[in-house]
Structure 1
Amino acid sequence: MKAQDLNEPHLPTLEQMQQWTQVVGRAQQLLLEQAAGATGRALPFDPDAVARIQTGFANEGLALWQRFLDSGGVLRDEPDAPPPDSPAARKDRRFADPAWTKHPFYDLIRQSYLLLSDYLLKLTDAVDGVDPKQKAKLRFAASGMLDAVAPSNFLLTNPTVMEKTLQSGGENLVKGLQHMLADLEKGQLTQTDGTVFELGRNIAATPGKVIKETPLYQLIHYAPATEQVLETPLVIFPAWINRFYILDLSPEKSFVKWATDQGISVFLLSWKSADASMKDVLWDDYIVHGQIDAIDTVRELLGVPSVHAIGYCVAGTTLAATLALLAARGEAEKVASATFFTAQVDFTEAGDLGLFVDDEQMQLIDQLSAGGFLDGRYMAATFNLLRGRDLIWNYVVNNYLLGQDYPPFDLLYWNGDTTNLPARWHKNYLTQLYRDNQLIKPGALTVDGTPVDLSKVQTPVYVQAGREDHIAPPESVWKITSHFSGPIRFLLAGSGHIAGVVNPPAAQKYQYWTCDELPGSLADFVASAKETKGSWWPDWIEWIRSLGDSTVPATGARIPGEGALKAIEDAPGRYVRER
């Protein structure tokens, strides 16, 4: 086969046209059968909606074939654009190569796929009279199936891969096979070249010392970067479902480094990756023996009455419970302020992750956690599934079909650095919070024997949400504002769960929205919020200083290892290196 063969037009035969029609019918039937199995009964469709969808699909399909036949199958330097309201007119990064539109064969494949995808998703939306969660599960399954069967994922139907294969004599496929076999061996999709990163050298490299170690965490105290520091220190609680250094990536992206540069005494918990010894660890342990223990340790070390606290994702959910427990004990003054990075406390609109808490998923988790802990690769795969198009199939094409070298990217290196989870904690978290939503019900949950009630929390709170967050949707994060009783500042940041948080001012990326007064709903917030370009970090530090800006010399116990707690080892410590 010659390279020019890729560009030779081929009109479809009648049999090929009939084949496409049959494919559509078979795909529809498979979808309906899967949906019926998920709900345990035949799906009730709105007949009027289905009729409209089918009529629209038939009309657009005929128009697509007519445009193709009118073109005569001839290559076009300036291809005719589909109608603006057609699914094929939407921008899609999978089909960015000009060959997808210039070559009539690939253009037909592309437009047919997009039309079919639009039809099947509309069909799932036409399901009527079923539980909303079942309907959401149906749409999630349909979207995942459609992403998997995209023509861009296959050698013979991807012009970019075909051209690369012809030019390299198939070397790209050999290299891609090597990549795939290596990934199968380690049981995880590779997304970046990890050989260029070294913990403590060019990632997780902010100077500091480990000053305390428990079976649950190591406490890192970072070296001051200014002669004077805020009197009230900061304790950061990263999520233990990932490594802590998402907040300490390369120096130019590090929130930890930036915070020390602003004159803050920064402490951070590096959680232990679970092993069999942690099989009985529960949420209470992360609250009492994790967060409260660290708060008390820092208070005693520096001789201060309170700390500022940050909780990221699941650690933010936990921080909410910590505040409620402290309030119930009459010890709320231990935390001067609490900041929540993309954290949820009310799970009624928790997004697609809520689809993974049915009985079948719980049974699977039990099977995968036989050793007392859940392998972190399962969670990584789950998060990748939430954005399969970008986090799975994009790498299948680049790594396995095109055989491309892995790019060095610190964020992707962190994303692939998985941690294990205690089995009992993980299952309880999914059932008690995601499924049963008990945290927002006063007294429904007890921590260390004490019933907790979020409405008793009067601590000043700063809530950050990501506009495009697919893990903690902004609609879900917003609900925090209706459960606390103290002053709340809500901020909506551009981008998602990671980039919306890790957005240093020097990068001059994205934007954020704020309101001086907290409105009654997220819709009202969006309608009236002021947009500011760039990072939201300066807004946060201004808010922190508004709560008290007194400073003290960065001497004595403010220097890691110089106080009552001596240095155990240099940051980032050994827990973050354990696998």
Structure 2
Amino acid sequence: MTTMDKGSNVPSVEHVERMKENLEKVEALSRRLVDVMAHKTSHNPALDAPSQELFANAATAYWAESLQNPARIIEQQVAYWGKTVTHFAEAQQALARGKFEAPADPGPKDRRFANPLWDSHPYFNFIKQQYLINADAIQEAVDSVEDLDDKEKRRLKYFSRQIVDMLAPTNFLGTNPDALEKALETEGQSLVDGLENLVSDLEANNGELVVRLVDEKAFELGGNIATSPGKVVYRNRMMELIQYEPTTEKVFQTPLVIFPPWINKFYILDLKEQNSLIKWITSQGYTLFVVSWVNPDAAYAEVGMEDYIEDGYFAAIREIKAITKVQQINAIGYCIAGTTLALVLSLMKQRGDKSIKSATFFTALTDFAEQGEFTPFLSDDFIDGIEAEVEKQGFLRSYIMARTFSYLRSNDLVYSPAIRSYMMGETPPAFDLLYWNGDGSNLPRKMAMQYLRGLCQRNEFAQEGFELLGHKLKLEEVNVPLCSIACETDHIAAWKDCYRGVQKMGAKDRTFILTQSGHIAGIVNPPSKKKYGHYLNDDLSLSAEDWQAGADFHEGSWWPHWEAWLRKRSGKQIAARTPGDSEHPPLADAPGTYVTTKASR
């Protein structure tokens, strides 16, 4: 392919003609685009942005500040004007010297602007620097707003940052040198491929724009991910119960069950053999059961937290006890399933049920007094929008939750993938973690609102009590031996909030482990990787800050330390158990059938 005339950076005539031919292919794709948008499904608009009241309150507060302290506001504006005019003057001076080069750029590095042209080319350099000046001015203006309560201030910061990130010059073809260079190099084919990717994503999601992060054709459940051998030994309307094959001749008498979050699917704990927590646990000599939740649709609209407890937790515990012939089991709850495990433990205490011997919590919030980065999504206008949405649909669609989580890291999880896919025309990578991330689950209407209103907004479990199944459940009633693992940079379940919940539990035997990294990588951290370390401190009477300051840091995975804790609570060793029994014949091979159901759009 001839891309340029010899000895010149100017595209050849042939090159330009081929590019025109490629661009003509856009017409067919445009027709597909029009068609998919004409049949687009809708969602409640309140889920797209905050109510106008937030911005009105911010504007009122900013105006009040300007009247009370005009010098401060004028100082900010003059500083912004000065930076802008100076920036323009420097660019003009560089051009006046007769050299087509950008002025020196000593500013901080930003990986969005990695292309050398952002620093060397006057056009791109001017755009970049002015964008950064504008971004700083907006942040400073938001920071200066004082007459707002703390939650409103957090929301204002969040949404203003979203606006700034959305308007980055990298997000537009005409101001993205990587995309423009790729278009010239490929004679426009990258733009055609990018539009194909865009239309395909819209068609896959009924007109909703959900950026595809991974090559979905690269993975098969039970084929190259979720491959640990096991059998489905029980199934009801809420879940499949998987018992995994033993990998040791002897196992501990007390079995272990994992309750994964039903917002996502359980195989995050069984992606590849080398990082599979499921495989590792069985290799340590445990009889392991894992719950695989149903992916609900509109028929599950009236399913509530009580159904997840009765037909999920209690059903699993009952069947495990029957299969293994024991009276007590150890349990793990991950994220929302950990929150619910705490509810279950309170309910068991009130009922006098001692079926759970010990409990482990993975990144589980039980005290929602502080809402951290989720503050923007737990205000009434957003929750009201969700309530209207689920009343109409019968369930909360998975993509709405996925989009909410993604915008907490919008540059990494929205804009950068969109640039690569839609502007550069690249095929998404074959990355197992991102495949799992895109394979979400819906939430039933009733359950979603119980969780958002009662637990998240009103924090009833940690305060006056959460009404469920005729009981008022309280965090202080969680009194079994417990181990909580939280993640240092978790933006979904902040570790200090997890710690505060553990402090309020009534158990005398409490262990808290703080691992490095985030919500997923901090948990899926096998010893073989020798990657993220963890903190240990037995004194849980301290504040979170003092606890970490006084903690001992240990290199490597937390898994062995937790397993040593679990081993002490798992009884004697017995002959390994094969999955099921005469009353529980295998219904399917792991990973089961429920896990393959895709979320409704």
| The two structures share one fold, judged by TM-score above 0.5 | yes
Q: Write the distance in 2 (CA, Å) between the matches of 1:353 and 1:549.
A: 41
Question: Contact (CA 8 Å) 1:202, 1:251: kept in 2 or not?
Answer: no
1:459-474 to 2 correspondence within 5 Å?
Answer: 459-474=480-495
State how 1:243-262 maps to structure 2 within 5 Å: 243-262=265-284
2:173 pairs with 1:163? no
Confirm or deny: 8 A CA contact 1:308 1:337 kept in the other structure.
yes
Q: How many residues align?
A: 543
Corresponding residue number in structure 1 for 2:146: 128
Bigger Cα displacement from structure 2, 46-55 vs 228-237: 46-55
Secondary structure of the residue aligned to 1:440 is coil
Change (3 A) 1:459 1:32: closer
The answer on whether the counterparts of 1:385 and 1:391 sit within 8 Å (CA) in structure 2 is yes
Question: Where in structure 2 are the equivalents of 1:326-345 lying within 5 Å?
Answer: 326-331=348-353, 333-345=354-366
Decide whether the 8 Å contact of 1:505 with 1:535 is kept in 2. Answer: yes
Equivalent residue, structure 1, for 2:32: none
| Distance in 2 (alpha carbons) for counterparts of 1:33 and 1:337 | 48
Contact 1:514/1:531 (<8 A) preserved? yes
Corresponding residue for residue 301 of structure 1: 323
Q: 2:55, 2:156 within 8 Å by CA — same for their partners in 1?
A: no
In 2, Cα distance between equivalents of 1:403 and 1:267: 43
Q: Contact (CA 8 Å) 1:288, 1:448: kept in 2 or not?
A: no
The one-letter code sitting in structure 1 at the alignment partner of 2:363 is T
Paired residue type of 1:209: K
- Is 1:153 aligned to residue 171 of structure 2? yes
Q: Under a length normalisation based on structure 2, what TM-score does the superposition of the two structures give?
A: 0.85
Indicate whether 1:139 and 2:161 are aligned.
Answer: no
The change in CA–CA distance for 1:5 and 1:322 in structure 2 (over 3 A counts) is farther
Q: Deviations over 1:92-147 (max 9, x none)?
A: 22112222223233222222222221221121121112122111111111011111
2:442 is matched with which residue?
A: 420
Choose which of 392, 396, 404 in structure 1 pairs with 2:414. Answer: 392
In the superposition, relative to structure 1, how do residues 64 and 514 fare at CA in structure 2: closer, same or farther (>3 Å)?
Answer: farther
1:10 is matched with none
Does the alignment pair 1:578 with 2:592? Answer: no
Alignment of 1:374-413 (within 5 A): 374-413=396-435
- Name the residue aligned to 2:200: 182
- What's the CA shift for 1:548? 4.4
Cα distance in 2 for partners of 1:379, 1:63 equals: 44
- Structure 1's 126 and 105: CA in aligned 2 closer, same or farther, altered over 3 A? same
Alignment partner for residue 374 of structure 2, among 333, 353, 356?
353
Deviation of the 1:60 alpha carbon: 4.0
CA distance in 1, matches of 2:373, 2:360: 24
In structure 2, the partner of 1:15 is none
- What is the percentage of aligned positions where both structures have the same residue? 38
- Alpha-carbon distance in structure 1 between the residues aligned to 2:362 and 2:423: 37
Q: Which letter does structure 1 place at the counterpart of 2:218? A: V
- Structure 1 unaligned spans of 5+: 7-30, 83-87
What residue number does 2:119 align with?
Answer: 101
CA distance in 1, matches of 2:118, 2:524: 35
Q: What's the offset of the Cα at 1:222?
A: 0.5
Is 1:310–2:310 an aligned residue pair? no
In the TM superposition, what is the alpha-carbon distance from 1:531 to its structure 2 partner?
A: 2.1
Q: Shift in Å at residue 41 of structure 1? A: 5.1
Partner of residue 296, structure 2: 274
Equivalent position of 2:30 in the other structure: none
CA deviation vs aligned residue, 1:292-313 (integer Å, no higher than 9, x gap)? 2212221222122221111111
Q: Matched residues in 2 for 1:528 and 1:64: separation?
A: 48
2:488 and 2:191 map into 1 onto residues whose CA distance is 38
The amino acid of 1:138's aligned partner reads: L
Q: What is the CA distance between 1:321 and its match in structure 2?
A: 0.6
Moved more, 202-211 or 31-40: 31-40
**Contact (CA 8 Å) 1:349, 1:475: kept in 2 or not?**
no
Provide the rounded CA distance (Å) in 2 between the counterparts of 1:100 and 1:513: 41
Tell me if the contact between 1:276 and 1:372 (Cα under 8 Å) persists in the aligned partners.
yes
1:285 matches 2:307: yes
Q: Indicate the larger mover: 165-174 or 350-359.
A: 350-359
Larger mean Cα displacement after TM superposition, 249-258 or 286-295: 286-295
Structure 1 residue identity aligned to 2:65: F
Residues 415-440 of structure 1 show CA distances to partners (whole Å, capped at 9, x for unaligned) of 11121110111012111111111110
> Aligned partners of 2:566 and 2:289: how far apart in 1?
16
Paired amino acid for 2:346: A
Q: How far has the Cα of 1:231 moved from its partner?
A: 1.5
Moved more, 31-40 or 45-54: 31-40
Within 2, Cα distance between the matches of 1:244 and 1:150? 36
Preserved contact between residue 375 and residue 421 of structure 1 (Cα < 8 Å): yes
Tell me how far 1:528 sits from its aligned partner: 1.9
Is the deviation greater in 413-422 or in 538-547?
538-547
Partner deviation per Cα, 1:413-469 (whole Å, 9 max, x = no partner): 111112111011101211111111111014x31221111121122212211112211
Identify the match of residue 57 of structure 1 among 80, 86, 101.
80
Query: 2:488 aligned with 1:455, yes or no?
Result: no
Q: Which ranges in structure 2 are unaligned for 5 or more consecutive residues?
A: 12-49
Match of 1:173 in 2: 191
Q: Is the 8 A contact 1:236 1:267 kept in 2?
A: yes
Q: Partner amino acid for 2:193?
A: K
The one-character-per-residue Cα deviations of 1:379-401 (angstroms, maximum 9, x if unpaired) are 11111122111111011100000
TM-score, with structure 1 as normaliser: 0.88
Residues 69, 538 of structure 1: alpha-carbon distance in 2 compared, 3 angstrom cutoff: farther
